[in-house]
Amino acid sequence: MSQKDWDRLKVLHAVGKGLLTQKQAGLQLRLSERWVRKLLVRLRQEGDRGIVHRLRGRASKRRLPEALRQRVVKLVKREYADFGPTLAAEYLAKEHGLQVSKETLRQMLMVAGVWKRKRRRVEEVHVWRARRDCWGELVQWDTSEHDWLEGRGPKLYLLAMIDDATSRALARFAREDTAAENFRLLASYLERWGRPVEFYTDKDSMFTVNRPFREAEDEAWPEALTQIGRALRELGVGWTPAHSPQAKGRVERFFGTAQDRLVKGLRKAGVRTLEEANRYLELEYLPQWNSRFTREPANPTDAHRPLRGESDLAAILSHVEERVVANDYTLRYNNKQYQVTRTDIRPGLRGATVRVEERQDKTVWVRFRDSYLNVQVCDPQLYLKPVPAPPREKKISKSSTPSKPRSWMEGFKLHKSLPVWKVIKQETGEWAPSQG
């Protein structure tokens, strides 16, 4: 018997001894007087066992047939061995037409030893933060590095944005986690929904310039922006850094779910390339996420703002640097020299600072004040330094006299038939040829 049955038995025994009335027993057990009388009758006829529910220990009439249970377990072992019960139940219904609830499947897999309950690890406690009220008020932005294709294709990065109020997500795969790839994701978001109020990211070098430690609190730093930081300022969108991964838990949980569901979906679809991965993500996974895991915001007001007419996304979402125009109306960028065309030369241009934009299509645009200048790459042959000719070798004629002997040999007469030591003694008078 359960603890609840023992508690009932104690009260019913008190009624049998006349210590409690049936009405008082019903109030304590939260049962009607009629049901209390029925339990007392069972208690007198069957003893203490009479209060146990009649269906306890019996098989449910809605229990799945044993043949179906064995088929389901065999399918999961063969095709969905690393799937969780929830995801496996969805694929069984979609791919095989087998309707099994996730809890029933969980119990079946635990009995068969296919799946084990995971223990929750103790994590650092973080203060809970309420969601923002409006859609577009705060958007979390991050990148996940994972083996998304499980070795079937190139290494990919998943770049994602998720709304804090609704959990609506937008993502794309890329070969590299660069500012240019993040600009493509940002452009897709802006064109689809408009400008959010604020983005929430980590302190990666793409979003903020990491400074060394300040020796004094009031020490001044020159303002420096990354390419993404500059673009957000030009768009009029705010930016807030997160001090820990747990602070942006919404997007981290999105990646955790994707590393389970999306990886298995890509595997079942046989995806092997970047293009196929983005196609599956756009047509299959994101619609499932946005229809199942999103929620209605507390305030139905849409906080997104439309793009302003003067906002040129191609110019804003490009790599921007500043250059100084030389006296000959040229400027250098990316190891190339560009010449401003004669028709675009205007007062104040020489020595002025211009804005150089390298756009997504790799074209270079130069803007001076509020207008763009026509530039062309200079011919590199005109600016190459002449290479000096190698020095000529001096030819020695056969009729030239040999070089003079060294100073220590001067005064000595060399004889081909005598050794050097005999020549030296002969010259000094210490040895004569007659001596042998």
- In tens, the pLDDT along 227-264 reads 999 999 999 999 998 888 788 889 999 999 999 999 99
CA angle 140, 166, 87 (to 5 degrees): 95
**Helix axes 102-112 and 85-95, enclosed angle (nearest 10):** 110
H or E, element range at 182: helix 179-193
CA angle 194, 168, 193 (to 5 degrees): 10
Other beta carbons within 10 Å of 17: 8
User: pLDDT tens for residues 71-101?
Assistant: 999 999 888 888 888 999 999 988 888 889 9
**116 touches 234 (CB < 8 A):** no
pLDDT of residue 341: 93
Other beta carbons within 10 Å of 250: 20
Of all residues in the chain, what percent carry a pLDDT higher than 70?
A: 82
How far out from the chain centre does Cα 348 lie? 45
Sign, CA torsion 315/317/322/325: negative
pLDDT at 309 over 80: no
pLDDT of residue 58: 79
Whole-Å CA distances, 253 to 142, 206, 389: 11, 22, 67
pLDDT at 193 over 90: yes
- 64 versus 148: the higher-pLDDT residue is 148
- pLDDT band at residue 296, thresholds of 50, 70 and 90? very high
CA angle 327, 332, 334 (to 5 degrees): 175
- 409 versus 131: the higher-pLDDT residue is 131
pLDDT of residue 55: 78
- pLDDT band at residue 164, thresholds of 50, 70 and 90? very high
**Regarding beta strands 330-333 and 336-340, do their DSSP bridges make them parallel or antiparallel, or are they unpaired?**
antiparallel
- Across residues 108-119, what is the average pLDDT? 82
User: pLDDT tens for residues 351-401?
Assistant: 999 999 999 999 999 999 889 999 999 876 555 555 566 677 666 555 555
> Residue holding tokens 């030369």?
345
Give every CB contact of residue 44 below 8 A, 6+ residues apart in sequence.
Answer: none
Question: In 281-346, which ranges are continuous DSSP H helix?
Answer: 286-292, 313-316
pLDDT at 405 over 70: no
Task: Give which of 131, 143, 172 is closest to 255, Cα–Cα.
Answer: 143
pLDDT of residue 136: 94
- pLDDT band at residue 121, thresholds of 50, 70 and 90? low
Global pTM? 0.69
pLDDT of residue 274: 95
pLDDT of residue 419: 60
User: pLDDT tens for residues 347-364?
Assistant: 999 999 999 999 999 999
